[in-house]
A = this chain, B = another copy of it.
């Protein structure tokens, strides 16, 4: 019996190739033809899975959001059990900083595609889904941390989560721009969280 084509796997393979082209040569180079060449498939196959350049961009953004979410999940799962909300927050947020070649490439491609959606709003919905889910997750952990007495009682969990997520977004950008190394960005994130969790009286 012939092997059934795994459509999800094919889409993933093409999206991954598109991310590679975007990260190495820029979004402007990521034409359907270039993506097909990078993926080692025909242009027609790319067109079968993605109707248009816009459809491909949406697909890549969704794929990369999934890749980043998986990094966060792995970071949290690798913690010794039982893990408290504070440890989960450090692990989840740290997992968002590019510290190796793969995370650098994924975050760079995500940033490039996401930025494109800012000026081409018809691409936007896919770009927000991942960040919104993450914000909810972080806010819930901050709420647990506050209930466990690890956070000042006047600290609003949703504010803490929004600030932490914005900080990580900015740190990602600083690492991609070469302003900070990955480890320095992790140290800055840690300094922020330490300050939040252990307010020092003057």
Which residue numbers of A lie inside 8 Å of B, CB to CB? 22-28, 108, 111-112, 114-120, 124, 127-128, 131-132, 135, 149, 152-156, 159, 162-163, 165-171, 173-174, 176-180, 185, 188, 191-192, 195-196, 199-202
Contacts and interface: CB of A to CB of B under 8 A. Distances in A.
B200 A152 contact: yes
Given A168-B170, A170-B170, 14 more contacts: A22-B119, A111-B118, A112-B115, A112-B116, A114-B177, A115-B115, A118-B177, A124-B178, A159-B191, A165-B170, A165-B174, A166-B171, A199-B200, A201-B201
A191 B167 CA distance: 13
A163 B188 contact: yes
10 contacts: A25-B119, A27-B119, A28-B116, A117-B177, A127-B177, A154-B200, A162-B174, A170-B171, A195-B196, A195-B199
A26 B178 contact: no
Nearest to A109: B119
Contacts of A159: 188, 191
Contacts of A163: 167, 188, 191-192
